[in-house]
Amino acid sequence: MSVNQGFDAGIREAEPMIVDDTPDTAGEIASPRLGADSLVWKFYGDNRGLLGFQRLAGTENCIEQLGQAVLDHSIIFSDFLGRAKRTGPPVMRTVYSTEPEKWGRTVRDFHRDIKGTISDGSRYHALNPELFYWAHATFVDQVLYITDTFIRRLSYAEKVQIFEESKVWYQLYGVSDRGQPQTYEEFVQYWEDMLDRFVPHKTIVYATG
């Protein structure tokens, strides 16, 4: 059974699933945070991450719903660097700021009105869990790939740790984790399965020249 068995049905629901920010027990719930002892903190902000920027943007936009959302709502075609500058810092602050949940919700709220249709007429919404998690997964892959390729080899245990930390990272955004794999092994299967769903969308053709 594929770890992504429900992906197609889930993504075509095209409904935002936002986590309630004000539960009755909010005062009793500690806000999640990636501390300085985490591997995501250690490696995500490394300057060598720039070497994987095209991989990140490329894989992300190869899923048609996300590529179409960028085409419909982004300024990437008129101001590529400007878009990168506006997107990168808020995501970075979910890891490194003293208010990660605030910045996670800020990133989420950028996407509240991002919706439309793809080539077959079906709808998409950026805050649909399957689509929003895919975007996050490309950042998780970036940490794993860039570290293992350009910084130093990761042990299997470290890869597991990075994935587990990525679940804390995702929680900061306040979007349902319905589409999130539960283990590192499932994440690897999930990633391989997603590669088979890639399409040559106009956004990715433009981005890769």
d(CA 40, CA 160): 11
Element (H, E) at 162: helix 156-171
Map residue 80 onto helix, strand or coil. helix
The pLDDT, as a whole number, for residue 48 is 94
Instruction: Take residue 34 and report the two structure tokens written for it.
Output: 């990636």
Tell me the average confidence (pLDDT) per consecutive run of 10 residues in the chain, 209 residues long.
Answer: 81 93 52 91 94 88 94 72 70 96 95 96 97 97 97 98 98 97 98 95 78
The pLDDT, as a whole number, for residue 209 is 62
The pLDDT, as a whole number, for residue 84 is 59
Give the closest residue to 72 by CA, choosing from 111, 28, 20.
111
The pLDDT, as a whole number, for residue 1 is 47
Give, rounded to a whole angstrom, the gap between the first and last alpha carbons of the chain: 37
The pLDDT, as a whole number, for residue 106 is 95
Global pTM value: 0.91
The pLDDT, as a whole number, for residue 26 is 45
| Residues in the chain, total | 209
Instruction: Take residue 103 and report the two structure tokens written for it.
Output: 């910045």
Instruction: Take residue 73 and report the two structure tokens written for it.
Output: 């709502």
